[in-house]
Structure 1
Amino acid sequence: MKDLFLFSSLFDSSHTFAYFFHIALVALIAVIIAKMATHSMQLVPRGMQNLGEAFLEGIVSMGRDTMGSEEGARKYLPLVATLGMIIFISNIIGIIPGFEAPTASLNLTLSLAVIVFVYYHFEGIRVQGFIKYFSHFMGPVKLLAPLMFPIELVSHFSRVISLSFRLFGNIKGDDLFLAVILALVPYIAPLPAYVLLTFMAFLQAFIFMILTYVYLAGATIVEEGH
């Protein structure tokens, strides 16, 4: 019944169509924003270019603090910035009546979490080598290696659940909260809720981005004696 109140139901009322409709919409918005920001590059940025550069510089600053170097932050900037943009746009369209946040579905959040999981392991193996990378899963004490290795495996797989369910749970809860507010008091009262949900949309994107940097740093940066 919820899909009947979505614009996507004008074409097809199924939930699957609604999900793919909103995913396509998010991708289209992201491409349009990127094109607008890079259409006519200027030495002194203005308009969308200014916003785009501020967005990227903010992510580089976040990555610099996490990775320990600007080189590492910029290396993974394309991945982290893309994740941040897709997640934020997905979150924000969910607070617009007639639209549904794709991040309110585990289909998207789990897919993004798996991408991060596979990529940071790939980078860890590429940077350190297969044997050296997985040797860190055994801990610093060889005697405890049979115990530490499965614990580390569970810890890494739990990151997929943590990333996906945190984002899904928060956005799904926000959608339900907004639906209740609009049903009870559809006029003035929802305004503070929109401010709060906009902040939460930004916060959840920020958390996903910084955790991606944290996992990449843990996989590619190994301290002596670790």
Structure 2
Amino acid sequence: MTSPTAAPTYREEHTGQGAASGLTLRSLVLGVIQVLVVCLGAPYAIWVLGSSEITWSFFPIAVGFSFCCLILLNILLKTINPGWALRPAEMITVVVMGLVTTGIPIFMMGYVLSIPTTPYYFASAENQWGTYVLPYLPTWLLPSNDGLAMTWFFEGLPIGEPMPWGTLLDAWAMPLFWWLSFIWTLYAVCFCLVVILRKQWVERERLAYPLMEVPQALVADADGPARVPAVLRNKVFWMGAAIPLCIV
């Protein structure tokens, strides 16, 4: 008596049983480049250019623009040599690395650097923080203003002043160690929760993830013979895209 054929799993249905992993050397290299674009581009866009924050939106600009460039690069690679083209899983790996990073340079590190530094810098004779607040704050968690480290953090070094590496190390080493320990622990817990819940949510409940719909649509037929993704060959897509583009 033969057993009934088991229903295909989510992985078999969407990627195929023998689908190659997206964790390849070139996808990791491109992913690291994407991470650098996010981490360096976000502070530069805000504090140097004074432009929009490129990591805050439903689909962050820093990742979306880079992904569009990656799509164009893949079209070029397919034109030159189809064997050089990136696989869908590799392109998704790059996108995911960028999305995971978007919360770090401004949102997370902004709070990590700004909150611990404010008590000593904003303490004044008027608010009397030096008497009623600072003595009760843990010194291992907050950088002190010894050697004007916090003053220089907010106002910058005086012109011609050499970089006080020793003062900065004394002020920041211990607080950063504990804050980063907390952050990495939080990230580890989040990744563990993802691993625990993934099978139930993805394979059994088949939950939709709207944030990934656009990348998946753009790489859906990347393994096929067509150089341009099917979405970009759809006239309805360009009609819809023309509306916001014309408004801008």
TM-score, length basis structure 1: 0.30
**Structure with greater helix share of residues:** 1
**Greater relative contact order, per chain length (Cα 8 Å cut-off, separation 6+):** 1
Q: If you compute each CA radius of gyration, which structure gives the higher value, 1 or 2?
A: 2
TM-score, length basis structure 2: 0.28
